């Protein structure tokens, strides 16, 4: 049996999560488990390739510390790499134990985020550890805490050893509907090579320049695209805007055949609707011109278009539902 530990904190001396994973590592080694530990802050330049380290693991421990809000960026990068380059068939067989210690508020939310992320990847979540610790010495000097940590390690070992089944959940079904990530059938060797290319900044930059040049060439060959020419669509969004108290967010709608997307920014009582391309938005959508006109004419809603596969979306999924309240075209 092999269990990998991925620590996403900053590695500071008094980080309580470090004590927890050291104790769990010791217990697992006593049970003759092969443990491979990855300190992501030390391997930050190769995080993209770490998804390939899952291929021979039976279980993983995802550990982080909430210092101000949510999980650290290193662990988020690792999960992103698993989504983009990981072997989903292999991940589906891996049990994950979350370990989240907090020096502020939010350890339970972060633990749930880790469980949700792993289940979206297709893996199996097990009961983990989460708690608030003002001082790391409290963990070391309290035998009850040490016992709880050891029990968690033993439970993970027992779950993997017995291959305990888990009830199916709706996340995998929802994931198939809302995911806009295009999956490419690659061998594990090709996946590993691709992730290594992605971690090479110079290669990525050169590839982006090549793609941009090719896109420009094909646009010239196919003729100029429209700029997003219809002022009526802008007028429709501006005239049907209904403010939501306290709401702030931005949407980028890429319309097939239009060179410039439609950008919508809402700041409580104010709204900006223009044809402009922005690097950042909370929600990015893709839709055909005819389907967008159906929405602005009140024939269908954004939610119905999304559920019917007429609209693709990525970003803050919850904010997609707010569009039908912000812009009521009926």
Query: Which ranges constitute the DSSP H helices of the chain?
Result: 16-30, 73-85, 88-91, 107-121, 136-141, 143-162, 171-178, 188-198, 201-222, 231-239, 289-296, 302-307, 317-326
- Whether 24 is covered by a domain: the verdict is yes
Pair 203, 263 in one domain? no
CB-based contact 63:20 (threshold 8 Å)? yes
- Whether 176 is covered by a domain: the verdict is no
- Whether 201 is covered by a domain: the verdict is yes
- Whether 175 is covered by a domain: the verdict is no
Pair 244, 116 in one domain? no
Distance CA(196)–CA(313), nearest Å, equals: 28
- Whether 104 is covered by a domain: the verdict is yes
Of residues 142, 106, 110, the one with CA closest to residue 128: 110
CATH number at residue 104: 3.40.50.360
Which residue in the block uniquely carries the two structure tokens 């809302």?
Answer: 178
Residue 14, pLDDT score: 86
Q: What SS3 state is found at 159?
A: helix
Quickly count helices (H) and strands (E) in the chain: 13, 11
Residue 216, pLDDT score: 63
Distance CA(70)–CA(9), nearest Å, equals: 11
Pair 166, 203 in one domain? no
Residue 230, pLDDT score: 73
Indicate left, alpha or beta for 126 from its phi (over 0: left) and psi (-120 to 50: alpha): beta
Pair 213, 245 in one domain? no
Pair 30, 148 in one domain? yes
Pair 7, 42 in one domain? yes
Residue 224, pLDDT score: 46
- Whether 183 is covered by a domain: the verdict is no
- Whether 177 is covered by a domain: the verdict is no
Pair 142, 238 in one domain? no
Angle, to 10 degrees, between the axis of helix 16-30 and the axis of helix 143-162?
Answer: 50
Pair 164, 237 in one domain? no
CB-based contact 219:260 (threshold 8 Å)? no
Residue 303, pLDDT score: 85
First to last CA, the chain: 59
Of residues 126, 55, 114, the one with CA closest to residue 79: 114
Which residue in the block uniquely carries the two structure tokens 């695209």?
Answer: 225
Q: What SS3 state is found at 89?
A: helix
CB-based contact 96:124 (threshold 8 Å)? yes
pTM tops 0.85: no
Residue 98, pLDDT score: 96
For 254-285, b/e burial (b = at least 16 CB within 10 A) is ebeebebbbbbbbeeeebebebeeeeebbbbb
Residue 16, pLDDT score: 93
CATH number at residue 276: 3.30.1050.10
Pair 135, 242 in one domain? no
- 56 DSSP 8-state letter: G
Give me the domain span that covers residue 195.
188-222
Print pLDDT tens along the chain (330 aa).
Answer: 999 999 999 998 889 999 999 999 999 999 999 999 999 999 988 898 999 999 999 999 999 999 888 888 899 999 999 999 889 899 999 999 999 999 888 999 999 999 999 999 999 999 899 999 888 888 888 999 999 999 999 999 999 999 888 777 666 555 555 554 455 555 555 555 566 555 556 666 777 677 767 766 665 555 444 444 578 888 888 898 988 888 899 999 999 888 888 999 999 889 999 988 888 888 898 999 889 999 999 888 888 888 888 888 888 777 888 888 898 887
Longest dimension (CA), the chain: 73
Pair 237, 157 in one domain? no
Pair 235, 217 in one domain? no
The helix or strand, by DSSP H or E, that contains position 64, with its residue range, turns out to be strand 59-66
- Whether 179 is covered by a domain: the verdict is no
Pair 317, 261 in one domain? yes
Count how many domains the chain has: 3
């Amino acid at each position: 049996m092999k269990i990998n530990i991925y620590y996403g904190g900053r590695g500071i001396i008094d980080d309580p999560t470090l004590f927890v994973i050291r104790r769990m590592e010791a217990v697992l080694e006593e049970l003759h488990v092969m443990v491979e530990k990855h300190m992501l802050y030390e391997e930050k330049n190769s995080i993209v390739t770490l998804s390939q380290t899952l291929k021979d693991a039976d279980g993983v421990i995802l550990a982080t510390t909430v210092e101000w809000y949510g999980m650290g960026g290193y662990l988020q990068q690792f999960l992103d790499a698993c989504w983009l380059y990981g072997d989903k068939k292999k991940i589906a067989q891996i049990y994950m134990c979350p370990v989240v210690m907090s020096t502020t508020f939010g350890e339970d939310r972060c633990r749930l985020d880790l469980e949700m992320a792993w289940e979206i990847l297709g893996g199996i979540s097990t009961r983990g550890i989460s708690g608030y610790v003002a001082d790391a010495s409290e963990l070391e000097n309290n035998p009850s805490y040490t016992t709880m940590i050891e029990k968690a390690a033993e439970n993970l070992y027992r779950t993997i050893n017995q291959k305990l089944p888990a009830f199916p959940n709706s996340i995998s079904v929802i994931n198939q509907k809302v995911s806009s990530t295009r999956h490419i059938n690659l061998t594990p060797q090709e996946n590993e090579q691709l992730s290594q290319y992605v971690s090479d900044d110079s290669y990525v930059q050169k590839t982006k320049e090549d793609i941009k040049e090719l896109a420009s060439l094909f646009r010239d060959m196919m003729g100029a695209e429209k700029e997003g020419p219809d002022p009526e669509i802008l007028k429709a969004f501006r005239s049907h805007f209904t403010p939501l108290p306290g709401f702030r967010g931005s949407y980028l709608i890429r319309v097939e055949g239009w060179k410039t997307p439609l950008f919508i920014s809402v700041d409580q009582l104010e709204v900006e609707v223009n044809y402009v391309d922005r690097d950042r938005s909370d929600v990015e959508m893709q839709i055909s011109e005819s389907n967008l006109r159906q929405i602005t004419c009140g024939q269908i809603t954004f939610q119905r278009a999304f559920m019917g596969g007429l609209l693709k979306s990525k970003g803050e999924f919850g904010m997609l539902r707010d569009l039908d309240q912000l812009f009521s075209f009926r």
